[in-house]
Amino acid sequence: MILPAAAVVTGLILLVWSADRFVGGAAATSMRLGLSPLLIGMLVIGFGTSAPELVVSALAAGQGNPGLALGNAYGSNIANIGLILGLVALISPLTVHSAIVRRELPLLGAATLLSALLMGGGVIGRLEGALLLVLLALFIGTSLWRARRDAADTLASDTEASLAVHPLSLRAGLAWTAVGLVLLVVSSRLLVWGAVEIARGLGVSDLIIGLTVVAVGTSLPELASSLSALRRREHDLVLGNVIGSNLFNTLGVVGLAAVIHPIQVGVEVLARDWSLMAVMTLLLALFALGVRGRPGRINRLEGALLLVIYLAYSGWLMRLVLGGME
């Protein structure tokens, strides 16, 4: 058990570091190649911080552990809203200005509902996975088209300010993108091996390990980038990062994993994990979009609520893990 635990810790450390280098390099490269700041904020940063979930889930599915892939995706979504947004809003209330963020929230809600429909038969097969990937491609295509009209959105100015903090040349951006990608794969393989071995040793499902240790670990890049953006008061970039990441997890990560290996879905996933993910997505929408004329804002009380829900859920899962050790 010591060696798998060491593999998980080492894999997580490498994963966080390599993801940061990959996203930074990809964002700088995109800027040097003339991609608009808005698209970099929406796609490169928002989706790029989900690269750990994508690589880990693809490797897990390829090795015959699709439960780990599903737990990683949905657990990361829950952690992104409860842990990251909850913690960030506790530090400083978040105000929503971006029309892009407001437009993506209903899409995230629709993707979340669709995922429940696809799980209704007890399995997310290759056809369902392909459907999710097609929807992700349509979303990206639509985003590219709309970015031409919304170039002045506040998400663009937040992204531009973020990129100006650590400017990289085109050569440096390409180099860090390549290095980050290689280390993402290496660290993900290490993490998946360790997580599967721990699950076997504890006698719990790889789904539970995916929802806990792996999900939190692969969400750390989002936490780091969100705290960094918060220091510069780039609230829309924080929210855009989380919403974009959750969309990518729901459509891209689950879709790719299912195409590689069909995912068996137990009733507990829909009743426990998906239901919580849906509730937290709904709360995020209510807070960020505003109700009854109230401007979109996540205040400290709302952030505390999201964080408490996440901690209670994590405690419940940890009881299952500890129960497997008995």
For 121, the token pair is 């038969």
**Which residues are CB-contacts of 144 (< 8 A; sequence separation ≥ 6)?**
39
pLDDT at res. 243: 86
Distance of CA 221 to the CA centre of its chain: 9
220: β partners:
none
Please give the CATH topology (third level) of the domain spanning 2-325: A middle domain of Talin 1 (1.20.1420)
So what's the pLDDT on residue 247?
Answer: 92
Q: What is the structure's pLDDT at 181?
A: 80
What's the confidence (pLDDT) of residue 100? 66
Q: Which amino acid is at 37?
A: P
* pLDDT at residue number 227: 77
d(CA 90, CA 320): 29
Question: Cα–chain-centroid distance for residue 274?
Answer: 15
Torsion on CA atoms 119, 317, 75, 95, rounded to nearest 10 = 120
pLDDT reported for residue 38: 65
The confidence score (pLDDT) of residue 326 equals 47
Compute mean pLDDT per 10 residues along the chain, 326 residues long, and list them: 84 81 78 71 70 84 87 92 92 78 86 93 93 92 72 62 70 83 82 82 81 82 75 74 88 94 90 94 86 71 94 87 59
